[in-house]
Amino acid sequence: MDVARRKETAEKFRKRMRAGEALAGTLVTLPSPAVTETLSRVGYDWLWIDMEHAPLSLDQVQSILSAKAESCLGFVRVPNNDETWIKQVLDLGADGIIVPQVKTAAEAKRAVAAAKYPPAGLRSAGLARAHGFGLELAPYIEAANDLVTVILQIEHKDAVANIDSILAVEGIDAIIIGPYDLSGSFGKLGKIADPEVQAAIEKVRSSCHSSGITIGAFALLPEQAKQFISSGFSLVALGIDIHTLWSGAAANLKQISTAVV
């Protein structure tokens, strides 16, 4: 996709996101372009390409980004809040970044700066897929600060305590709550329904709505995703590719188990 079309697609996505429309994504952890291409064509608005927990290399991420449908945006979760990781995945042509474990305003500023070209940030200029390998270098650099989506993950109780100062950082497009790690930071890993964890999630949700910042969350199952959407979460990542694969296969097998001899 050329820069002009990428910018148009990104602007449409952001317009829908800011309007509070529910935008469904899913996690990509498998290094298969075929899996990515298929997922991007069934109706997801965006893909969460995971380099934090999945063993994806930069070459594999580039193949994944190349395989997805143009209408489906590809956001890469970098392994950590690091300038080098951020510029490398953006140079590969990612439509945005997801930065894990942001706990303070200073960390939020570092993530935004790494994603933006000067004067808005510190991103250095390279020559890679995002720039058409040089064919669209100037147009991309001119458009990139508006084209790239910056999403920060709030998944620790310290981040919840600092949420208002984090949201005050210019250049943040959205917040995604990581409910599992958030519950773990309270010593209650996996107990997302715990009142203390739910209170923390509500605090972040309320602060995001007051600040006009889009809020999202990860949900493994459709029932969880529906609850988030009904509570005002508009950026919802539903499921993980490998879980969708094995759970769907198991459900199919269960339906015929009585007929299997």
Among candidate residues 53, 131, 156, 209, the one labeled active-site is 53
Measured CA to CA, the distance from residue 31 to residue 209 in angstroms comes to 36
DSSP state of 110: H
* Helix or strand run (H / E) with residue 216: strand 214-219
Please state, as a whole number, how many other Cβ atoms lie within 10 Å of the Cβ of residue 150: 22
Measured CA to CA, the distance from residue 237 to residue 216 in angstroms comes to 8
The backbone torsions φ and ψ at residue 82, rounded to the nearest 5 degrees and listed phi first, read -130, 135
DSSP conformation letters of 36-92: HHHHHHTT-SEEEEESSSS---HHHHHHHHHHS-TTSEEEEE-SSS-HHHHHHHHHT
53 catalytically annotated: yes
Q: Is residue 182 within 8 Å of residue 198, measured between CB atoms?
A: no
Residues with a catalytic annotation lie at 53
